[in-house]
Amino acid sequence: MKKFMLLLLFCHVASPVLHSLKYFYTGSSQVPNFPEFVSVGLVDDVEFDHYDSNTQRNEPKQDWMEKVTADEAGYWDRQTQILQGSQQVFKGNIETVKKRFNQTGGVHIAQMMYGCEWDDETGATNGFNQQGYDGEDWISFDLKTLTWIAPTPQAVITKHKWEREAGRNEYWKNYLTQECIDWLKKYVDYGRSTLLRTELPSVSLLQKTPSSPVTCHASGFYPNKIMLFWRRDGEELHEDVDHGEILHNHDGTFQKSVDLDVSSVKAEDWGRYSCVFQLSGVNEDNVTKLDPKVIKTNRAPDSPSEFPTGAVVGAVVGLLVLVAICIAGVIFWKRRNNGFQRAKTSDSSDGSASSVEAAPLK
């Protein structure tokens, strides 16, 4: 059983030209001080719109999204109407699934993630659509076979129902391969000054104690299409290395760390090791030699070298800013081919709005 993993917007994209459009819907039941329904839209892993049941309004999160009304008059009103419909659908779906699991009260979460990817160099595209309940996969759409996959017996009823409905699979095929891609291209064009920019990081070596791993910490880079790794004698290391996730900073850039276990490395061999940072679109690597003289540590109170508190504070602030997004349903599957539940086939979208209304389970 594949499980959801709540991550603070870790989004590492392997291809240097791979763009993505993702929508995350989260419906909740009996969660204190939390909206009943939240929707977050991400383009290239940057939040560009937001809706929740408290405000009852879909709103832009980036200045460049104001451009959409020039091409699509009434865009925000239509998006709001779609999400208000999904809010009601999610409320009913939670009750339906609770009955399937013989549940009564308690806290429950229903989630939906859908969207598409586009490689602007090769033209290759991909689409995904998946639904979850209480942290577990519920149902997903297989774009290749145009069928629904139900990993749990309680979802088989939904699978059969949706596969019997005429036009549903064709609708999803059209949306994921055409309409979603069209909107993704528009959004990338609107935000190109932000989404297509390049910022290089500062790279530091950190170590808590002489016996601790040495952490190579890169912060302030954009985009998040990067490689950060340790190598020895010019060869990438895979053993004794622990990779951290890519995290957001409060200023919209990213940070990442990779640890090297040096407990078995002889002092005379330290010079053979180096940390390498590679950023998509930049030909020159950032290489930092494993040198005790440049390692920042907090083990000596009077030492001029210490942990970069600015980066740490920035990371904490960034995480706090993103908590709203994470709680709002930015819940990713362990595998990269993620997805979520999806929408009505008849009237969920007419081409004038990019999100989709969720489909009832009954």
> In this predicted model, what pLDDT tens digit does every residue of 161-204 receive, in sequence order?
999 987 889 999 999 999 999 999 999 999 999 898 999 999 99
For the chain, the domain total comes to 2
Beta strands at 147-149 and 136-142: parallel, antiparallel or unpaired:
antiparallel
| Dihedral of the alpha carbons of 331, 53, 154, 358, in degrees to the nearest 10 | -90
pLDDT, position 18: 85
Together in a domain, 132 and 209: no
Q: Indicate which CATH number applies to the domain containing 98.
A: 3.30.500.10
pLDDT, position 347: 36
Model confidence over 76-116: pLDDT tens digits? 999 999 999 999 999 999 999 999 999 988 999 999 999 99
Q: How far apart are CA 178 and CA 254, in angstroms?
A: 30
- Residue predicted with more confidence, 358 or 260: 260
Residue 135 CA to its chain's centroid (Å): 16
Together in a domain, 104 and 224: no
Together in a domain, 84 and 124: yes
- Segment among 73-77, 257-261, 299-303 with least mean pLDDT: 299-303
pLDDT, position 322: 43
Beta strands at 202-207 and 295-297: parallel, antiparallel or unpaired:
parallel
Together in a domain, 307 and 327: no
Q: Band of the pLDDT at 251, cuts 50, 70, 90?
A: confident
pLDDT, position 17: 63
Mean pLDDT to the nearest integer, 281-298: 91
Together in a domain, 265 and 134: no
Together in a domain, 211 and 95: no
Residue 361 tokens, joined: 């389970």
Mean pLDDT to the nearest integer, 115-139: 93
Q: Is residue 182 part of a domain?
A: yes
Residue 87 tokens, joined: 């809010």
pLDDT, position 223: 87
Q: Is residue 343 part of a domain?
A: no
pLDDT, position 353: 66
Quote the domain boundaries for residue 26. 4-194+323-333
Q: Is residue 355 part of a domain?
A: no
Return phi, psi of residue 248, to 5°. Answer: -80, 145
Answer whether residue 7 shows pLDDT above 50.
no
Q: Indicate which CATH number applies to the domain containing 263.
A: 2.60.40.10
Q: Is residue 354 part of a domain?
A: no
247 beta partners? 255
Q: Is residue 27 part of a domain?
A: yes
Together in a domain, 178 and 35: yes
Together in a domain, 107 and 10: yes
Answer whether residue 250 shows pLDDT above 90.
no
Q: Band of the pLDDT at 316, cuts 50, 70, 90?
A: very low
Together in a domain, 152 and 20: yes
Cα–Cα separations (whole angstroms), residue 206 to 53, 58, 212, 230, 273: 43, 42, 10, 14, 15
Cβ atoms 325, 234 nearer than 8 A: no
Polymer length in residues for the chain: 362
Neighbours of 171 (CB within 10 A): 20
Together in a domain, 133 and 10: yes
Q: Is residue 348 part of a domain?
A: no
pLDDT, position 330: 39
Cβ atoms 179, 188 nearer than 8 A: no
Q: How far apart are CA 183 and CA 254, in angstroms?
A: 25
Q: Band of the pLDDT at 294, cuts 50, 70, 90?
A: very high
Q: Is residue 338 part of a domain?
A: no
Together in a domain, 184 and 212: no
- Residue predicted with more confidence, 311 or 265: 265
C-alpha angle with apex 305: 231 to 311, nearest 5 degrees? 75
Q: Which of 263, 259, 264, 262 is nearest to 275 (CA)?
A: 259
Residue 60 tokens, joined: 């832009």
| Dihedral of the alpha carbons of 216, 222, 226, 230, in degrees to the nearest 10 | -10
Answer whether residue 336 shows pLDDT above 70.
no
pLDDT, position 248: 86
- 120 torsion bin: left (phi>0), alpha (psi -120 to 50), beta (else): alpha
Q: Is residue 18 part of a domain?
A: yes
Together in a domain, 160 and 289: no
Q: How far apart are CA 15 and CA 226, in angstroms?
A: 9
